[in-house]
Structure 1
């Protein structure tokens, strides 16, 4: 543990706490302070992104099975999953949650929720980088997988 790491955050608990707070804020803001109803096309786009993102996150979580953990620290007995959505992106759950949060913000036309979605994107970028350092230590095959598969967006990022 480095001097900047605290015992409560040794496995990445701080990322999870921030993630929960951001997701709760994104979900609650449109209900607590409703915005003007967005145009129908924006609402439909938002609902589509919400649905696709939720489906991607759900599929990815199911594909991980017993390897699933909210922490960036891999399970000691875990396996590296490289199939299904993990053949397209290294962190498809994060990508799905980002799509869903963006969709929710658009469907409600709420700029605050949209801003929190941007904060969530930054958090997931930091969390994914930390997670990948841990995965490299845990799985000898991870560097080759990282070379083949993009982090969040297939073929781009």
Structure 2
């Protein structure tokens, strides 16, 4: 069964993808440089952010498999993924773009780059809203997934804390 989206929604989705591409290019191409010597620890931290973002994006893309698309509308072959990196955040590829972009900003900070990163944040947040509406319609289990999984920033502390029900012992 082929699932189609209204033309206006497809146009909106691909417009967001286009703007995302422009913002990512601008993030890298806007002239940077601090004018001051960048401390080694900041270079190391920013580089680590970019490397971590690359691995996160790759893990998210591999988990989606054939369902991977730049569009916020799920493809016809998309399946709901809730394991792997998707157990920590609902949009790991967007998280990776923001984390890597923040690393780029730290390496070559200029006010223009900061504004571009903020625009990217707003754009990706908007894409998540459109995507989540479509996923809620497409997958009946998506609402439960949303209830237990953060959108963009993982709640690692929640994962480390024991479940309160576990502390009370077994129910009899």
For this structure pair, what is the TM-score category when the shorter chain's length is used for normalisation? 0.7 to 0.9
* Contact 1:43–1:109 (CA under 8 A) maintained in structure 2: no
Which structure 2 segments of 5+ residues have no match?
A: 157-172
Report the secondary structure of 2:153's partner residue: coil
Task: Please identify, of 47-56 and 89-98, the stretch whose mean Cα deviation from structure 2 is larger.
Answer: 47-56
Structure 1 residue 27 corresponds to structure 2 residue 28: yes
Q: Distance in 2 between matches of 1:62 and 1:76?
A: 17
Look up the match of 1:51.
51
Aligned residues between the structures: 151
Which structure 1 segments of 5+ residues have no match?
A: none
Look up the match of 1:42.
42
Aligned-residue Cα RMSD (Å) equals 2.0
Look up the match of 2:82.
82
Q: Distance in 2 between matches of 1:141 and 1:113?
A: 38
Q: Distance in 2 between matches of 1:128 and 1:108?
A: 28
Shift of 1:35: 3.7
Q: Which runs of 4+ in 1 moved over 6 A?
A: none
Larger Rg: 2
Shift of 1:144: 0.8
Q: Distance in 2 between matches of 1:84 and 1:22?
A: 28
- Using the size of structure 1 for normalisation, the TM-score is 0.87
